[in-house]
């Protein structure tokens, strides 16, 4: 199987570091608002990747984080007048419910930032000892100037110099300008408590973890110093994942921290990226009132995971037709379908092995389903349904 690695900008043959075990981590949600199609594209993609790797005989250990304390949660909690922890719990539950509805299997570990503080503190201490981080007024910052390796992943996506990195960091709005930093590109590892904010004890005073360090620390805790696949939305490659590499590799001394970086394209609506701040969201809970979970999954997987795309009703209607076709096939072959079609399976595997080409795999199943129905071909019908379950459909 070949997968495109963002770091090398090439399709590489996938093999895990250790025998049959795939260690996979995907950056999770910040639970302060509803789940939209952009989130679903990321989490359905990696859920399907896990299913496919298991189909190929691998064991997959899948960890995802929940950033249950950060600026957005604190802001929203003030806006709606709800305690920050209650808001985080409520929105996490809502996210999990939406994912359950889309037939996304739960990862092996959902690591919550607030439950991982001791591990975060250990990694920060190590980075200070190695001369890569400094303390200022109760905050700890990572010093980019002290790290000549910083920015490998950023350069891979075309941010070739300090200025271009700084511009994107500023655009993203998750890289606050802070007078306590020595360099504008330095990023916070430990955020000192501001008046009225929740805080945890640390050697540098009360505060809370920065966002980037949370993922580095959780990966080390739940998966070890080196992992096979790290996923997330394309907008996380810089600064978030670039900062994760810096922290993790300097703390553990192991390179590469991640063997395959996989980034999922953005979902657009009316020409703009779908995001909470822009207010142009297609909510999963709303979509589920009109379409089946399989139709939504088919729509998502009909787009190659690396491509940005725009969501149209026509896409959903086209997927609905395929969903209906699969249901008719189910009626034809019954609940316990028998027989197989090895040529079809080979075609499906060839598509999926080529950088996880789900659109081509779906097209293959679509054609085969049409033919099987026309010819009352039970064996092919059974094979289509079996392969559809690998995509998390028809289950």
Which is nearer to Zn ion, 7 or 27 (by Cβ)? 27
Of the candidates 165, 129, 126, the one whose C-alpha atom is nearest the C-alpha of residue 144 is 165
Nearest to 277 by CA among 159, 174, 198: 174
CB of 240 to Zn ion, least distance (A): 5
Q: Is 53 exposed, middle or buried (0-12, 13-18, 19+ CB in 10 A)?
A: buried
The kind and range of the H/E element at 63 are strand 59-66
Q: How far apart are CA 241 and CA 188, in angstroms?
A: 14
25 or 348: CB nearest Zn ion: 25
27 is in an annotated binding site: yes
Decide: helix, strand or coil at residue 278.
coil
Give the three-class secondary structure for 150: coil
Would you give the DSSP letter of residue 193?
A: P
Taking the complex as a whole, the smallest distance from the CB of residue 104 to Zn ion amounts, in Å, to 18
Task: Flag whether 11 is marked binding.
Answer: no
50 labeled part of a ligand binding site? no
181 is in an annotated binding site: no
Site residues, Zn ion (CB under 5 A): 27, 215
Shortest spacing between CB 359 and Zn ion, in angstroms: 27
In angstroms, what is the minimal distance from the CB of 67 to Zn ion?
A: 8
- Rank residues 25 and 291 by Cβ distance to Zn ion and give the closer one: 25
Residue 8 near residue 256 (C-beta atoms within 8 A): no
The distance of closest approach from Cβ of residue 373 to Zn ion in the complex, given in angstroms and rounded to an integer, is 44
Indicate the residue among 29 and 87 with the shorter CB distance to Zn ion: 29
- Residues forming beta bridges with residue 263, ordered by sequence position: 232
Q: Is 215 annotated as a binding residue?
A: yes
Does an H or E element contain 78, and which? helix 71-80
R_g of the chain, CA atoms, integer Å:
22
Copy the structure tokens of residue 347: 């075609």
For residues 227 and 382, which CB has a smaller minimum distance to Zn ion in the complex? Answer: 227
List residues forming the annotated binding site: 27, 215, 240, 244, 276
């Amino acid at each position: 199987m070949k997968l495109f690695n963002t770091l090398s900008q090439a399709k590489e043959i996938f093999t895990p570091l250790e025998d049959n075990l795939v260690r996979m981590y995907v950056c999770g949600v910040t639970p302060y608002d509803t789940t939209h199609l952009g989130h679903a594209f990321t989490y359905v993609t990696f859920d399907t990747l896990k299913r496919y790797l298991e189909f190929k005989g691998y064991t997959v250990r899948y960890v995802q984080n929940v950033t249950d304390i950060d600026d957005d949660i604190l802001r929203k909690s003030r806006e709606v007048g709800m305690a920050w922890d209650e808001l985080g719990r409520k929105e996490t539950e809502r996210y999990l419910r939406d994912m359950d509805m889309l037939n996304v299997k739960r990862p092996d570990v959902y690591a919550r930032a607030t439950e991982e503080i001791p591990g975060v503190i250990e990694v920060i201490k190590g980075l200070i000892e190695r001369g890569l981080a400094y303390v200022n007024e109760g905050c700890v910052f990572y010093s980019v100037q002290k790290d000549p390796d910083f920015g490998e992943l950023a350069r891979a996506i075309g941010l070739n110099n300090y200025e271009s990195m700084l511009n994107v960091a500023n655009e993203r709005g998750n890289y606050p300008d802070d007078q306590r930093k020595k360099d504008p590109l330095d990023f916070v590892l430990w955020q000192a408590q501001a008046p009225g904010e929740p805080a945890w004890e640390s050697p540098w005073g009360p505060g809370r973890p920065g966002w980037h360090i949370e993922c580095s620390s959780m990966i080390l805790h739940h998966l070890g110093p080196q992992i096979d696949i790290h996923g997330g939305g394309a907008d996380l490659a810089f600064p978030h994942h670039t900062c994760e590499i810096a922290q993790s590799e300097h703390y553990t001394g192991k390179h590469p921290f991640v063997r395959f970086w996989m980034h999922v394209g953005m979902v657009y609506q009316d020409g703009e990226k779908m995001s909470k701040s822009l207010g142009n969201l297609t909510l999963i809970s709303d979509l589920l009132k009109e379409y089946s979970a399989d139709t939504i999954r088919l729509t998502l997987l009909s787009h190659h995971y690396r491509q940005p795309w725009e969501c149209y009703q026509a896409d959903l209607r086209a997927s609905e037709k395929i969903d209906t076709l699969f249901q008719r096939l189910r009626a034809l072959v019954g609940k316990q379908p028998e027989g197989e079609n090895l040529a079809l399976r080979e075609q499906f595997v060839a598509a999926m092995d080529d950088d996880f080409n789900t659109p081509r795999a779906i097209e293959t199943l679509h054609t085969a389903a049409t033919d099987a129905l026309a010819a009352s071909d039970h064996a092919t019908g059974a094979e289509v349904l079996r392969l559809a379950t690998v995509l998390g459909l028809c289950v």
